Structure 1
Amino acid sequence: MSDFARQQSEFQRGILSGDDTVLAEILDSPKEKRETLYGVYRYAYGSRLIEAMRNEHELLHSYLGDEMFDEMGRAYVAANPSQHPNLRWFSHALPDFLRSTAPYSEHPELSELAALEKALNDAFDAKDGPVTSLADMSGFAPEIWNDLRFEAHPSAKRLDLLSNASAIWLALKNDETPPDAAALNEPSRLLIWRQDTTPMFRELSGEEAMMWDEATSGIPFGVLCSMLATYDDPDGAAARGAGYLHGWITSGVLSGVSAGD
């Protein structure tokens, strides 16, 4: 390694870790001490990362406000040095950070609001895939429907929330005053996906969430209907299963249907 490359490496390491060893190789300017000059780079580095976090989590930023968001951002930057050249991925660990780090962990809606925003961003960036249509379904004879298996669209993801973070998200999205944060009696079961070019989500009933989770793990339609029969009214299980399936297809959350293994 050349001496210049070594200095660059030490300069970068100092910015990332706070190590001031490289200051011994930096000269004061006529107007400022080297510590001040180096501090400008450190500040700019952190500020750029926090700016990227604001872009990725606009509604969390709106919920917290500038001061609290920036304070949280500085704590996140210190705990999670950037590991990827694309800033899009810098805040990928933010939900886990908020869930596990005080004082943010004392407010579960923060990590769940971040998780919802992350899931919507991921849905937008997800790879393209075929979208199953009602016309595709018409090609399967009724006698083989019990054997049909389903594949989720690459953008589709399930997310369970234990707070009213989705209601907070919707209020912020509509420029309304968000409701007070509250724990839920049972999870809010969300399905997140990209429809055309728009990321979106909707809440599923417990039964539909169960069917989606099992369907996208490879369970065939006939078995799914049997599971629905144990979940609620057995006489209407097949009709409910067909209704859920119809909704998935018209929403564009399936990428494939096949008969048999």
Structure 2
Amino acid sequence: MRLADLQAMFQAGVLAGAEDGARILESVKNSAQADRTTLFGVYVNAYRARLAEFLAADFPALRALIGEEAFDALADAYIGAQPSRQRNARWYTTRLPDFLRESAEWRDNARAIDLASFERALTDAFDAPDAEPLAIDALGGFAPEQWPGLSFAFHPSLILLELEAGTIATHEAAMEQQELPPPDEQRGHVAVWRADLDSVHCELEADEFLALSLAMEGHAFGDICQMAAFRDLEDASPERLAQMLTGWFQEGLVVAAESREKEG
């Protein structure tokens, strides 16, 4: 048997698991120390244990929320359903929130799903591409009549989430090893991004979440004002939206601005 064939068989066996994989490797001889099934099981267990470590490292608050036993069972189920297919282990854990949503056992646990989504957003924001923030002085280059047509591009790390209102408090308590707060069925809004080489977050009011969502979709400033008024958000006046925009610049979220209005 060629080495390449043996390596491919070995990889398939590891992914299949110790019991099924051992049958795949019937051509491998036993060693003087142990039989091939036992030796192969060492590789299988090490592979799964390493993937479980990645999951625990990326979702520590989720582990604290549901408990070690339940988390270990979740990790085992995820590893069985999601074999590692990328060389970079960083990306292996990224589908865990989706796996929770798709799982019959977890799909109704909104608290766990939201907490996992928040933890994934923190990791994704940290690893996102970089971009140079646009100084707020750049707005001075646009005439007043151009403002309704202003549209903005945002930092690649910016992520908006709609979560259970207590998600942030749960995450903070878990990371500080404090008692977790009770569930909160109300929904809240959170922005996550990278600042100064670290992932940060900010809870948003409903009007700012709407405005920022629309802005990230490419809607112009004037259109955002009209949509906010149409949805009866009393606080979403042009002045309030201008304050939001100033805040986005101050946080380094805006990386480009352009006007769709024709000059003259």
2:134–2:249: 8 Å Cα contact kept in structure 1?
yes
The answer for the alignment partner of 1:171 in structure 2 is 173
1:228–1:241: 8 Å Cα contact kept in structure 2?
no
Structure 2 alignment gaps of length 5 or more = none
The answer for the alignment partner of 2:211 in structure 1 is 211
Counterpart secondary structure, 1:190: strand
Alignment match of 1:60 (pick from 56, 59, 62): 62
Q: What amino acid is aligned across from residue 143 of structure 1 in structure 2?
A: E
The answer for the alignment partner of 1:51 in structure 2 is 53
State the distance in 1 between where 2:78 and 2:234 align: 48
State the distance in 2 between where 1:155 and 1:253 align: 9
Query: CA 1:26/1:16 → structure 2, altered by over 3 Å: closer, same or farther?
Result: same
Post-superposition CA distance 1:61-90 (Å, at most 9, x none): 233343332221111100101111110000
State the distance in 2 between where 1:208 and 1:220 align: 15
The answer for the alignment partner of 1:232 in structure 2 is 233
Post-superposition CA distance 1:197-236 (Å, at most 9, x none): 12111121111111111112222112222233332348x7
| Aligned 1:141-152 pairs, distance under 5 A | 141-152=143-154
The answer for the alignment partner of 1:7 in structure 2 is 6
State the distance in 2 between where 1:191 and 1:12 align: 40
The answer for the alignment partner of 2:101 in structure 1 is 99
2:52–2:76: 8 Å Cα contact kept in structure 1?
yes
State the distance in 2 between where 1:254 and 1:170 align: 27
2:9–2:25: 8 Å Cα contact kept in structure 1?
no
Shift of 1:163: 5.9
State the distance in 2 between where 1:194 and 1:3 align: 48
Post-superposition CA distance 1:116-148 (Å, at most 9, x none): 111110100000112122222222232321221
Relative to structure 2, which stretch is displaced further, 189-198 or 219-228?
Answer: 219-228
Q: What amino acid is aligned across from residue 251 of structure 1 in structure 2?
A: E
Query: CA 1:233/1:41 → structure 2, altered by over 3 Å: closer, same or farther?
Result: closer
The answer for the alignment partner of 2:132 in structure 1 is 130
Shift of 1:176: 2.3
1:112–1:163: 8 Å Cα contact kept in structure 2?
no
Runs of 4+ in 1 over 4 A off after TM superposition: none
State the distance in 2 between where 1:85 and 1:257 align: 37
State the distance in 2 between where 1:169 and 1:101 align: 22
1:226–1:237: 8 Å Cα contact kept in structure 2?
no
The answer for the alignment partner of 1:193 in structure 2 is 193
Question: Normalised by the size of structure 2, how large is the TM-score?
Answer: 0.90
Relative to structure 2, which stretch is displaced further, 44-53 or 195-204?
Answer: 195-204
1:7–1:22: 8 Å Cα contact kept in structure 2?
no
Shift of 1:167: 2.2
Counterpart secondary structure, 2:134: coil
Shift of 1:162: 3.9
Question: Normalised by the size of structure 1, how large is the TM-score?
Answer: 0.91
State the distance in 1 between where 2:233 and 2:23 align: 67
Shift of 1:104: 2.6
Query: CA 1:233/1:39 → structure 2, altered by over 3 Å: closer, same or farther?
Result: closer
State the distance in 2 between where 1:132 and 1:220 align: 17
Aligned-pair identity (%)? 34
